[in-house]
Amino acid sequence: MDTLNKIPLIGEKFPEIEVQTTHGKIKLPDTYKGKWFILFSHPADFTPVCTTEFVAFQLRYDKFKELNTELIGLSIDQVFSHIKWVEWIQENIKVEGKPVEIKFPVIADDTGRVAAQLGLIHPAKGTNTVRAVFIVDPKGIIRAILYYPQELGRNMDEILRMIRGFQTSDKYGVAIPANWPENEIIKNRVIVPPAASEKEAKERLEQAQKGEIECFDWWLCHKKI
């Protein structure tokens, strides 16, 4: 197994891969054409942090689907291990008195082929996959990549925020400030792209005078959407 494959880059097309999952075989990224999808890897089934992550993803699954976004997990485990672990979660984990049923598919990458192709194996961590997240848009383009160490579980609300931010940016042609939609400076407003010429800088200030946008200066303007 080649563990030296480079990780795909933001802005590149997600590699075409056929994978075996708990929901059967699927082709990536084609299966999710026209949808956003989040592929996330975890070190192994039947491990404590990974279990909390799967529960957290499932509890937000409906929110992801409302954003036209699908989830798909991955680890270097056989499909029967995934199936048994998912069953164990439903039988043993309850949130607010209700069992947690994992409804998204999980890739069984027991050969490590997919993990190697996506650069998910860290040489210092043996053969386990790292905690990686790929956010892929409806055209199959990788928009974001997150890497976490094995000891730190992910924040699923941040991943939801990223999807909302990307969709807002794409729709309105704007940039998204820190901690949006609760930014400390401009609250839930969005940033107008900085001027790239003297002409555009002058236009920004004219737009501000008309009340179309607000500016701290010509290079830092924002608006409500």
Ranges of each domain in the chain: 17-154, 173-225
- Mark the binding-site residues for substrate, compressed into ranges: 131
Q: Answer yes or no: is pLDDT of 10 > 60.
A: yes
- What is the pLDDT confidence band of residue 3, given thresholds at 50, 70 and 90? very low
Question: What is the tens place of the pLDDT at every residue in 51-103?
Answer: 999 999 999 999 999 999 999 999 999 999 999 999 999 999 999 999 999 99
* Binding region: 131
- Look at the domain 173-225 and name its fold: Antioxidant, Horf6; Chain A, domain 2 (3.30.1020)
Q: Do domains 17-154 and 173-225 have the same CATH topology?
A: no
Q: With contact defined as beta carbons under 8 Å apart, do 193 and 174 qualify?
A: yes
215 is catalytic: no
Q: What is the pLDDT of residue 126?
A: 66
Architecture (CATH level 2) of domain 17-154: 3-Layer(aba) Sandwich (3.40)
Q: Which amino acid is at 23?
A: H
What is the pLDDT, as a whole number, of residue 140?
Answer: 98
* Structure confidence by residue, pLDDT tens digits, 136-186: 999 999 999 999 988 899 999 999 999 999 999 999 999 999 999 999 999
The whole-number pLDDT of residue 1 equals 41
Q: How many CA atoms lie within 13 A of 128 on its CB side?
A: 14
3-class SS at 154? coil
Q: Which of 50, 106, 136, 192 is catalytic?
A: 50
Cα 221 to its chain centre, rounded Å, is 28
* Helical segments of the chain, H only: 48-59, 61-66, 79-92, 113-118, 156-172, 198-209
pTM above 0.85, yes or no: yes
